[in-house]
Amino acid sequence: TANLLRGKRGLVMGVANNRSIAWGIAKAAADAGAELAFTYQGDALKKRVEPLAKQLGGHVVGHCDVTDSASIDAVFAEIEKLWGKLDFVVHCIAFSDKDELTGRYVETTEANFTKSLLISCYSFTAVTQRAEKLMTDGGSMLTLTYYGAEKWMPHYNVMGVAKAALESSVQYLAADLGPSKIRVNAISAGPIKTLAASGIGDFRYILRWNEYNSPLRRTVTIEEVGETAVFLVSDMSRGITGEILHVDAGYHVVGMKVPTAPDI
Ligand code: NAD
């Protein structure tokens, strides 16, 4: 990926630690020559994000909790001051109350439904609204989704519904922003052990199931998602928008348990 992103400036939202998908993307983007800015959610994560950003020579542009639109505005004002323009945004943000990432979807509460959809779906639109104004030479918006948007998955519940809405919003945003040469895409990543994933019931079972039943017979890494993200925010993918690209070792083509897969 050397030099693929040379001269490009990108905002990375959603680093929590060095296992975050956002961090895998940031590392790959920095390797490809991008200049990066990072947001963090709250003081606890500030302490983690600052040294990570420093490792890549990136800027930390402040706290952003997507449930507080003033904090989104503040971050974009900071980007405008810093760079005056923006080439890409990587949005790796999702949330649901852990108590509802287990058991039956039908039990979802109105409060958690609203909060999950706000954080996991609407925030991408909210961020795109601000980014559009700074993407004066065109740009690339990228978000992260999961196969639980397309098919039922155990325990994924309201997150599956939120991801389905997110994937649909990728298409609507792509249509709106295409004329401004802003592309909007998502990576549908296979399961990876991160902080957010550890909130999902029986996550180890899901990892193991994917390892045994995906065509490549393994799970994927944040580095692999990162390199695909570099492709999607680079000019190499200039003909692609509104796309949901699976980085999941091929799991999404499988309709049934592989007969030779061990029982878990
Ligand atoms: P992670 O815990 O490292 O990252 C989740 C991030 O969301 C954190 O940085 C957290 O601060 C941020 N966040 C949550 N609520 C927020 C709010 N109100 N305001 C601002 N930020 C908020 O976990 P991850 O797995 O790297 O998750 C990144 C993205 O990848 C998510 O959208 C997730 O759904 C998606 N994804 C994850 C997997 C997986 O298996 N890990 C698979 C497919 C998609």
pLDDT digits (tens, 9 = 90+) for 69-90: 999 999 999 999 999 999 999 9
pLDDT digits (tens, 9 = 90+) for 88-99: 999 999 999 999
Ligand 1 centroid – CA 143 distance (Å): 10
Domains and CATH numbers, the chain: 9-248 (3.40.50.720)
pLDDT digits (tens, 9 = 90+) for 94-131: 999 999 999 999 999 999 999 999 999 999 999 999 99
Residue having the nearest C-alpha atom to atom 34 of ligand 1: 94
What's the gap between Cα 29 and its chain centre? 14
Q: Is the CB of 65 under 6 A from ligand 1?
A: yes
CB 120 within 8 A of CB 146: no
Active site residue 251: no
ipTM of the predicted structure? 0.99
Q: Is the CB of 247 under 6 A from ligand 1?
A: no
Residues (pLDDT < 70) of the chain are none
Q: Is the CB of 140 under 6 A from ligand 1?
A: no
125 is in an annotated binding site: no
Q: Which two tokens stand for residue 262?
A: 């061990």
> Whole-prediction pTM value?
0.98
Active site residue 156: yes
Residue 58 has a pLDDT of: 98
- Match 């952003």 to its residue by tokens: 64
